A and B are shown apart, each in its own frame.
Chain A
């Protein structure tokens, strides 16, 4: 019968969609010797022809790291990481010295990005999105450079920024996330390989969305990219970050650092769709996503807004935060975290109110299915000088099935009497009534779940730029496959 073959095909398609990014690209790469030592740090720094001050900074971080303990307060479980059993630098060989133009990039690599849906060739690109793609440890292409240069926007790999505008890098690097911050960030400071650098000059509204795509390809390789975004006075930028990795049985470490700096009247909107390989149904393999993201609203009336859709990774440990230093500055955190099967996520935000009339808004939507466990962990701190500061927090959890868990851990520290902190939290499930209603209308169970979950996340999805929102909605459905029935 035709109808049933159709359904079978759909089921097969779905099964393949499950992690369609799980392919491996066959590319020769230039790799540092295995393990972590001062030599590794020197190797990386030398590969990148870095200035002396940066090597010193890396070494300070490395030496500090040696004495640090793993953060243990998060509600995640995993075997101790063997830092000596990984590679800290892997570059596609052909682009060892950094590509000068798209024509110099290995066609295999271009094909990989096409498979991922990121056409690097400018003519194929969605208008208005400039892409910097990081493959394992190096940035392979930054598109639309010329158009951005016209308005004075600098958008390039951080290694290139060290040549182009070393003073800017030196002035801001490590000022939001110091190398002593936490073990993962410290490791990143010692061995970070690449990442994006953005500078928006005063008064410039960046004419297009900037986007970075991260991809871990090589085996046993950690990815330690470092992103630094500076929005000068009165400027605006929207930045998107996407991530994927091949399916592998072993766990791979991803310890990134993102630092944002907004000066007077500047605004940075930072969106992430994180779809690292989550491991299989039994929790074998997957990325450890231990990321430190922090933004400093240094100037008056500045604004930093984080939006994240976290569907991948075996473990996510991530708290994009805002330091609201300038008076009237605004911090926002919109989050969707989906955990299925054996995934674990401990994620949330910190809103540190330092200036007067600072406001922050936290909207967190957590969805847990299978045997997954997730925790929202958020800190709202009103310091003594934060006159009339305000925070609103809404944390909603949705549970699918009865073997998963969701926890909400809000920390509130208020040292100013005029500050107002509001917190609302709900926990719900997808009801049998809802499922039956949708199925009666012809919608199969998995699509029905995806629909309800997308509805649950709507407030956050609406924050994403259009192209990402559509992709994110699909991702929500795919991540929850196998969670019903």
Chain B
């Protein structure tokens, strides 16, 4: 599904990722942990194709296709989704309008019929119910004035609507209270399927109690330093990143 080989990425001339390797199979759930500033969000942006994140070496292959140079909206249409660490506000644009536009843009690209207003509303009703999201949130402008937790939940709603084949969730758990965390985790678990892979970026082992990963990776110094099972997350929770030379960074 996703193959990252010897990836080097620079931002403003500064090398952030320095030869990163990662392989995620279809239907797998991988967690990435690592100290602040180690390049986790950078990795998510470069997978999604953000401008200014230059690949200086190596490559990212998604479903057998090299992503280098591909426009972000094309990646999205091919099934790539990024839940942002800091979701962006779009004043004046109702959440539903935005989601309908996004879904239909993707469907158009794939040569599928667009959903009409009725079909869309019906689908939205199901999704919001599943995720415990109020109708009010759909009418409000995208993320504008949303609380931190609401923004994160809105990201999961978008994922549920767009049904990606690969979702990168960048710290979707941070800022959530216990109840919200459970709802979000449940939402993510419901979306797990044999043909959907997920990359879960998190700082907390807590999330992994709810969403059990197939693999855990430690990102530091621009590389994956260690990979393991769920027990690796426990170990990190205890010892921190000292082993990787980043204690109290």
Could you list which residues of chain A lie within 8 angstroms of chain B, going by C-beta atoms? 2-3, 6-7, 10, 431-434, 436-445, 447, 451-452, 454-459
The number of A-B residue pairs with CB atoms under 8 Å apart is 86
Q: Are B111 and A455 in contact (CB under 8 A)?
A: no
A17–B50 Cα gap in the complex (Å)? Answer: 29
CB distance from A400 to the nearest CB of B (A): 15
A63–B53 Cα gap in the complex (Å)? Answer: 67
User: What 5 A-B pairs have minimum CB-CB distances, sorted nearest first?
Assistant: A455-B92, A455-B93, A442-B76, A441-B102, A458-B92
Q: Are B72 and A436 in contact (CB under 8 A)?
A: yes
A51–B137 Cα gap in the complex (Å)? Answer: 62
Q: Are B84 and A437 in contact (CB under 8 A)?
A: yes
With A6-B111, A7-B109 already in contact, the answer to whether A444 and B73 are too (CB < 8 A) is: yes
Q: Are B73 and A439 in contact (CB under 8 A)?
A: yes
Q: Are B102 and A442 in contact (CB under 8 A)?
A: yes
Q: Which residues of A contact B108 (CB under 8 A)?
A: 6, 10
Q: Which residues of A contact B77 (CB under 8 A)?
A: 3, 442
Q: Which residue of B lies closest to A453 (CB)?
A: B92
Q: Are B90 and A437 in contact (CB under 8 A)?
A: yes
| Residues in B56-108 with C-beta less than 8 Å from chain A | 71-73, 75-77, 81-82, 84, 87-93, 97-98, 101-103, 105-106, 108
A454–B101 Cα gap in the complex (Å)? Answer: 13
Q: Which residues of A contact B38 (CB under 8 A)?
A: none
Kindly identify which residue among B84, B92, B110 contacts A3, using a CB–CB cutoff of 8 Å.
Answer: B110
Chain B interface residue number, banded:
20 to 34
Q: Which residues of B contact A442 (CB under 8 A)?
A: 73, 76-77, 102-103, 105-106, 109, 162
Q: Are B109 and A440 in contact (CB under 8 A)?
A: no
Q: Which residues of B contact A455 (CB under 8 A)?
A: 90-93, 141-142
Could you list which residues of chain B lie within 8 angstroms of chain A, going by C-beta atoms? 48, 50-51, 71-73, 75-77, 81-82, 84, 87-93, 97-98, 101-103, 105-106, 108-111, 141-142, 158, 162
A441–B103 Cα gap in the complex (Å)? Answer: 8
With A6-B108, A440-B72, A443-B101 already in contact, the answer to whether A452 and B93 are too (CB < 8 A) is: yes
Q: Which residues of B contact A451 (CB under 8 A)?
A: 90, 93, 97-98, 101
Q: Are B93 and A454 in contact (CB under 8 A)?
A: yes
A432–B52 Cα gap in the complex (Å)? Answer: 11
Q: Which residues of A contact B141 (CB under 8 A)?
A: 455
Q: Which residue of B lies closest to A450 (CB)?
A: B101
With A440-B76, A442-B77 already in contact, the answer to whether A434 and B102 are too (CB < 8 A) is: no
Q: Which residue of A lies closest to B48 (CB)?
A: A440
A437–B75 Cα gap in the complex (Å)? Answer: 13
A444–B75 Cα gap in the complex (Å)? Answer: 11
A7–B74 Cα gap in the complex (Å)? Answer: 11
Q: Are B91 and A456 in contact (CB under 8 A)?
A: yes
Q: Which residues of B contact A10 (CB under 8 A)?
A: 108
Of A2, A10, A451, the most chain B CB neighbours within 10 A belong to A451
Q: Which residue of A lies closest to B92 (CB)?
A: A455
CB distance from B161 to the nearest CB of A (A): 10
A443–B142 Cα gap in the complex (Å)? Answer: 14
A-B contact pairs, 16 of them (CB 8 A): A6-B109, A7-B109, A431-B88, A434-B89, A437-B87, A438-B90, A440-B75, A441-B76, A441-B158, A442-B103, A442-B105, A443-B102, A444-B71, A444-B105, A458-B93, A459-B92
Q: Which residues of A contact B91 (CB under 8 A)?
A: 455-456
CB distance from A12 to the nearest CB of B (A): 15
Kindly identify which residue among A432, A438, A447, A454 contacts B92, using a CB–CB cutoff of 8 Å.
Answer: A454
Q: Which residues of A contact B50 (CB under 8 A)?
A: 436
Q: Which residues of A contact B48 (CB under 8 A)?
A: 436, 440
Q: Are B72 and A457 in contact (CB under 8 A)?
A: no
Q: Are A447 and B101 in contact (CB under 8 A)?
A: yes
Q: Which residues of B contact A434 (CB under 8 A)?
A: 88-90
Of A10, A432, A444, the most chain B CB neighbours within 10 A belong to A444
Q: Which residue of B lies closest to A7 (CB)?
A: B109
CB distance from B42 to the nearest CB of A (A): 14
Q: Which residues of B contact A441 (CB under 8 A)?
A: 76, 98, 102, 105, 158, 162
New contact pairs (9) apart from A436-B50, A441-B158, CB-CB < 8 Å = A2-B111, A432-B51, A434-B89, A437-B88, A438-B98, A438-B102, A454-B92, A456-B91, A457-B92
Q: Which residues of A contact B71 (CB under 8 A)?
A: 439, 444
Q: Which residue of B lies closest to A452 (CB)?
A: B90
Q: Which residues of A contact B110 (CB under 8 A)?
A: 3
CB distance from A144 to the nearest CB of B (A): 29
Q: Which residues of A contact B73 (CB under 8 A)?
A: 439-440, 442-445
Of A431, A433, A445, the most chain B CB neighbours within 10 A belong to A433
CB distance from A335 to the nearest CB of B (A): 16
Q: Which residues of B contact A443 (CB under 8 A)?
A: 73, 101-102, 105
With A6-B109, A442-B105 already in contact, the answer to whether A456 and B92 are too (CB < 8 A) is: yes
Q: Which residue of A lies closest to B98 (CB)?
A: A451
